[in-house]
Amino acid sequence: MSRTVQRFAWPPLSSVAVALATLCASASAAPTLPRATDLGPTAATDTITVSLVLKVKHSDQLEAFVALTQEPNTPAYHRFLSVRDFADRFSPSPAEIATIRHYLDGFGITVNEVYADRLLIKATGTADAFTRAFSVDLHDVDHHGRRFHRMHRPPVIPILLRDLLVSVEGLTTEPRFHHMHASTLANSPLASPPVVLPPHGAIATGVPGSFTVGDVANMYNINPLYQRGINGTGRTVGIVTLANFDPADAFTYWNLIGLSVDPNRLTQVHVDGGGELSAAAGTGETCLDVEQSGGLAPGAKMVVYDAPNSDAGFIDLFYKAASDNLVDTMSVSWGLAEAFFFEQVVGVDRTPQMIAFHQAFLEAAAQGISVFAASGDSGAFDINDAFNDPVANVLTVDHPANDPAITASGGTTTPFTTNFGPGTPDLVVPTEQVWGWDYLENYLVAVFGPQFEHALFPVGGGGGVSVFWRAPLYQLGTSGIKRSEPNQSIIFDDGSGGGPVDLLDLPARFAGRNLPDVSLDADPFSGFLLFSTPDGGLLSGFGGTSFVAPQLNGITALVSQAAGGGRLGLVNAMLYRFKRQTPSGSRAPLVDITAGNNWFYTGKPGFAPGAGLGVLNVANFAAAVDRERHGH
């Protein structure tokens, strides 16, 4: 796929001092470690609803089953399970659920719902009841002027239930997860570029910063599928999100760019009462997820699952979507640094929560649902918000993209040329490269002065090595797969004057899951239009790996339709297999990204934790899937 270097004009950088001050203020607006005021023990009579996540039975067999669904020339290839079949093979029995119910009844805790997959129970009781049932220590905290519950020690699962429960979620209710979109205005010292809409009769603009789904189709060779009448018809695309939105915004976006869609295509499912609808809550994230995935697969139906931004809300979304089993593909653009699940960092062991998520992703894969997650927008340093502040720079990755049962979606910068006013030299990105704003920072330092040094760190596409999940089978034997780096520690300075504290030394040389798996354009400077009423309407200069995950979501719906309509499941094994089989050339499904870096990992042929396996040539990917599914 060839790339034309697009030239466009950027608004002048009129005041370096004001721009830098604005940038520093935005960088410090989201502290890395959760800071809240302890208000004391939670009132015993407070009513709490929790999610009890049940253990899958025969977890090794489930992992093996999912792997076999991706092995061509075997009877299990792309033979997926119904929810009932999954529950019968891998979920606790009704009698075991009755045991849990009986235990809860003894404390006055009421079971409200058992999900269809028999892996999640919703239950309500008082704070006192849960304290007695699970030996927790609950406090109330004030977080940005709002009151939440927070555990001071994790729940103790009683011996009777130890073989049945993975975790008890919902005892902490603070919002912990963040979206993965970025913009030139919020994340750089530069203004947003002018909004450009496609000319009459076109869907693409050809203008970086105002790209649409039509430009994605042009850049990644999707148009041959559209020319065959492939548009997602017969497929259902799912969105998992932690903020509500107004569907009218998505329809406005599609209408503005000249895309015709079914006005009845979209269904909303509000899990646990649904998420908040506001710019601050992340409604813009939900808008772009729907606009991008639904725009690339304009003939597909859509189901949008939203929930409150909490531990229970996030987990419930995936179990609800898997239990409904309505969607064929699904994406999520919210996450949290992997290190924030470690007891040494946050004071409570949250790793059981990652296992709970993993089970949901395995269920989705076993049922044939392809799931994509944004890999993060802090480059190779996911836990960091700014240079050595408030955590010393440390190589870290994002959850849930770190999970081996999900497809991690990374970011690139596509070619462009621009400048920032009269007398300023051109900023040129000559070829598609790994997204990392070191190129922009270097330009600003060279043109405007050293005050911009470290100002943009670590904005870029997330990527690196998990120190929790081991490298999955599909990555073994892939050239370029890395181990974790030595001398990486979570060192935190809370600014109180006590100095930095070494919270955790991360394991060195750990053979962990590498991410991302695959990438597309994510840099706001070669970025996209977004329509979100709470955020101001039609906006330009948006990007982030949160665009890539829903784009891959919509693309996979197209590929599924092109291959005959069946679900594809966890596509990772196919991606790595296709890369080994056809690493380059005119039929290659994946195109190497060999330039740029995400502040640590550079673009290289094959695999690298900057852009993963590279970017998709979608028509070639669809052809490879079709050949494999039909045995030729």
Residues 220-262 pLDDT 10s: 999 999 999 999 999 999 999 999 999 999 999 999 999 999 9
Domain-wise residue ranges, the chain:
6-17+178-472+490-523+542-629, 42-169
Band (33; pLDDT cuts 50, 70, 90)? very low
Instruction: Determine the Cα–Cα distance for residues 534 and 536; give it in Å rounded to an integer.
Output: 6
6-17+178-472+490-523+542-629: CATH class: alpha beta
Quote the pLDDT of residue 35. 64
Please tell me the number of Cα atoms within 13 Å of 383 on its side-chain side.
26
pLDDT digits (tens, 9 = 90+) for 444-497: 999 999 999 999 999 999 999 999 999 999 999 899 999 999 999 999 988 888
SS3 of the chain: helix, strand, coil, percent, to 5 = 30, 25, 45
Quote the pLDDT of residue 146. 87
Quote the pLDDT of residue 597. 98
H-state helical runs in 199-279: 213-219, 223-227, 247-256
Write out the two tokens for 629.
Answer: 């599914």
Range 407-427 average pLDDT: 92
Range 586-597 average pLDDT: 97
Please tell me the number of Cα atoms within 13 Å of 629 on its side-chain side.
20
Report which of residues 387 and 337 the model is more confident about.
Answer: 337
Secondary structure element (H or E) that encloses residue 442, with its range: helix 438-448
- Say whether pLDDT at 4 is over 70: no
Instruction: Determine the Cα–Cα distance for residues 531 and 254; give it in Å rounded to an integer.
Output: 9
Query: Which of 27-36, 423-432, 473-482, 612-621 is predicted with the least confidence, judged by mean pLDDT?
Result: 27-36
pLDDT digits (tens, 9 = 90+) for 514-526: 999 999 999 999 9
Range 588-615 average pLDDT: 97
User: Burial letters for 294-327: b for 16+ Cβ neighbours within 10 Å, e otherwise?
Assistant: bbbbbbbbbbbbbbbbbbbbbbbbbbbbbbbbbb
Three-class SS string for 41-58?
ECCCCCEEEEEEEECCCC
- Say whether pLDDT at 390 is over 90: no
- Say whether pLDDT at 25 is over 70: no
Quote the pLDDT of residue 537. 97
Quote the pLDDT of residue 7. 64
Quote the pLDDT of residue 6. 67
Quote the pLDDT of residue 192. 79
Write out the two tokens for 459.
Answer: 């904005």
Average pLDDT, the chain: 93
Quote the pLDDT of residue 143. 80
Helix (H, G, I), strand (E, B) or coil at 120: strand
Percent of the chain surpassing pLDDT 70: 94
CB neighbour list of residue 310: distance below 8 Å, 6 or more residues apart: 170, 172, 173, 174, 175, 176
Question: Are 531 and 256 within 8 A, CB to CB?
Answer: yes
User: Burial letters for 153-184: b for 16+ Cβ neighbours within 10 Å, e otherwise?
Assistant: ebbebeeebeebbbbbbbbbbbbbbbbbbbbb
Range 264-283 average pLDDT: 97
Quote the pLDDT of residue 23. 43
Write out the two tokens for 630.
Answer: 């039909």
Band (419; pLDDT cuts 50, 70, 90)? confident
Report which of residues 186 and 626 the model is more confident about.
Answer: 626
Instruction: Determine the Cα–Cα distance for residues 358 and 518; give it in Å rounded to an integer.
Output: 20
Is the pTM higher than 0.85?
yes
- Say whether pLDDT at 543 is over 90: yes
Amino acid at 549: A
pLDDT digits (tens, 9 = 90+) for 546-556: 999 999 999 99
Amino acid at 617: N
Write out the two tokens for 113.
Answer: 């719902």
pLDDT digits (tens, 9 = 90+) for 68-93: 999 998 999 999 999 999 999 999 99
Quote the pLDDT of residue 90. 98
Range 163-182 average pLDDT: 92
pLDDT digits (tens, 9 = 90+) for 493-511: 888 888 899 999 999 999 9
